Structure 1
Amino acid sequence: MLGWALTFFVVALIAAVFGFGGIASASAGVAQILFFLFLILFVVAVVARAVRGKPPV
């Protein structure tokens, strides 16, 4: 999922360089949503692993 967020971020940067404002903002929005979703899932996985008694890696 982080890979998709980075992909949309790169698309947003390229679109911004070429002046496509709508595409750039849409891609940046998708990248931001995916990034925060990735962070939330990561925190949930770390907490779930700690609750099971396994030490964090």
Structure 2
Amino acid sequence: MNKWVTIKKFAEASGYSEDAIRAKTKNGTWAYRLHFTKGPDGRIMINVEEVNKWLENTEA
């Protein structure tokens, strides 16, 4: 998988819904320019590597 992927691709691979991913980008759960960014065309792109690190560091 690429380092940066669309919300749709990340949803397909991760099991998170597209709405859940958008919520994490809007409510501050994921940091702008670390976990996600906006491309020059305004499209939100997810950094797979950094989100995986976030997942691994989340306490259950």
Q: Same fold (TM over 0.5)?
A: no
- Greater RCO structure (CA 8 Å; 6+ sep): 2
The structure whose residues are more often strand, as a share, is: 2
The structure whose residues are more often helix, as a share, is: 1
Compute the TM-score of the two structures, normalised by the length of structure 2.
0.30
